[in-house]
């Protein structure tokens, strides 16, 4: 297990409105039809037409969407084609049918079906997987269950699923069912995207206004004289069943591939408990510390994250 720190390249700065990197490869909309849902996302072509390159699949965090990787994805195109997904219920992907919940393991199942249907013809039958937050959790579970399909795994401010003690199983179930019966309430109508972006700036994982303006338009849809959230409101419902810490450790210990944990200095895991045990459970783990918060790959100076991930994926 390697633990290193990458400083910012030059003075840190906040992303400004209209701030676009030069020569970024253009992305296109992509859709992947699965048996019970259609997933959407963004795709960047490989920077060079090299046969045999390993595709990179990118998984976003809870309530985010594929635009969270708009700064990071272009840097990875020199490794191969890059595809950033919208999870079910997020962005432009389909929503779960009425009566269903957004269960963690269903995201893993969606990813497994996507890889089997659309990414079988890779050089060695494997992909590179980069996940942020929830995306890192899903990626870790998929890597544990399907080691033959993963070449490398990167987790950004993510190191295994949220866990609950076993004696909280029934209280958690009760809370989830009560919320499901009560429903989600009425949608908030925003007069414009900028107002919605300001609403997104706060919360558990704060964003600068510029980063929020980059991210949230894909989660919005026009309605009447304004905009409402396109994101499925059921995503905010409590999960009826959560993993215990023992189960999380067991899932992490089952990962066979190379793993990079990108740990943000001001991220949600900067003061996390039990991270040492989780890190020790992964046999082939590298850790890199980077400046920034939970969205260190999107907000502020992102080059340290780009450098760490590209170096990891290139230097096998």
**Quick one: pLDDT at residue 296?**
97
Q: Is beta strand 38-44 parallel, antiparallel or unpaired with respect to 82-85?
A: antiparallel
The answer to whether residue 169 is domain-embedded is: no
The pLDDT confidence band at residue 204, using thresholds 50, 70 and 90, is confident
The answer to whether residue 201 is domain-embedded is: no
Sheet with 82-85: list strands edge to edge.
2-5, 285-293, 258-266, 150-156, 127-132, 56-59, 82-85, 38-44, 28-33
pLDDT in tens, 148-201: 999 999 999 999 999 999 999 999 999 999 999 999 888 899 999 999 999 999
pTM exceeds 0.85 for this model: yes
**Quick one: pLDDT at residue 252?**
98
* Number of domains, the chain: 1
For range 289-304, the mean pLDDT:
96
The answer to whether residue 213 is domain-embedded is: no
The answer to whether residue 279 is domain-embedded is: yes
DSSP-assigned letters across all residues of 286-300: EEEEEEEETTTTTSS
**Quick one: pLDDT at residue 25?**
52
The answer to whether residue 256 is domain-embedded is: yes
Largest alpha-carbon pair distance within the chain?
Answer: 54
Structure token pair of residue 248: 């999380």
The answer to whether residue 202 is domain-embedded is: no
The answer to whether residue 71 is domain-embedded is: yes
Q: Catalytic site residue 133?
A: yes
| CA 234/CA 219 separation, integer angstroms | 14
User: Which domain covers residue 245, as residue numbers?
Assistant: 2-164+240-314
CATH code of the domain in which 69 resides: 3.40.50.1820
**Quick one: pLDDT at residue 99?**
87
Output 100 or 64, whichever has higher pLDDT: 64
The pLDDT confidence band at residue 139, using thresholds 50, 70 and 90, is very high
Contact indicator for 207, 200 with CB cutoff of 8 Å = yes
The answer to whether residue 175 is domain-embedded is: no
Among candidate residues 66, 93, 133, 208, the one labeled active-site is: 133
């Amino acid at each position: 297990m390697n633990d290193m720190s990458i400083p910012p390249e030059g003075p840190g700065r906040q992303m400004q409105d209209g701030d676009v990197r030069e020569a970024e490869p253009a992305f296109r909309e992509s859709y992947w039809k699965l048996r019970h849902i259609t997933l959407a996302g963004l795709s960047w072509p490989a920077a060079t037409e090299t046969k045999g390159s390993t595709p990179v699949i990118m998984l976003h965090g809870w309530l985010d969407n594929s635009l969270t990787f708009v700064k990071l994805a272009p840097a990875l195109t020199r490794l191969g084609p890059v595809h950033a997904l919208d999870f079910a219920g997020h962005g432009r992907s389909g929503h779960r049918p009425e009566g269903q919940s957004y269960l963690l393991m269903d995201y893993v199942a969606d990813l497994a079906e996507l890889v089997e249907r659309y990414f079988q013809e890779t050089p060695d039958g494997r992909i590179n997987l980069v996940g942020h937050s929830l995306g890192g959790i899903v990626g870790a579970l998929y890597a544990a269950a399907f080691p033959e399909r993963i070449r490398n795994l990167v987790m950004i401010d993510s190191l295994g699923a949220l866990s609950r003690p076993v004696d909280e199983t029934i209280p958690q179930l009760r809370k989830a069912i009560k919320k499901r019966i009560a429903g989600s309430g009425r949608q908030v109508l925003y007069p414009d995207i900028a107002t919605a972006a300001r609403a997104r700036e706060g919360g558990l994982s704060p964003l600068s206004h510029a980063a929020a303006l980059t991210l949230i338009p894909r989660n919005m849809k026009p309605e009447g004289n304004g905009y409402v959230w396109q994101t499925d409101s059921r995503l905010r419902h409590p999960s009826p069943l959560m993993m215990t810490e023992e189960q999380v450790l067991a899932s992490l210990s089952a990962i066979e591939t190379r793993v990079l944990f990108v740990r943000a200095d001001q991220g949600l895991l900067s003061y996390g408990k039990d991270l040492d045990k989780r890190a020790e459970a992964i046999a082939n783990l590298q850790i890199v510390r980077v400046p920034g918060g939970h969205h260190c790959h999107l907000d502020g100076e992102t080059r340290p994250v780009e450098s760490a991930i590209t170096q990891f994926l290139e230097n096998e």
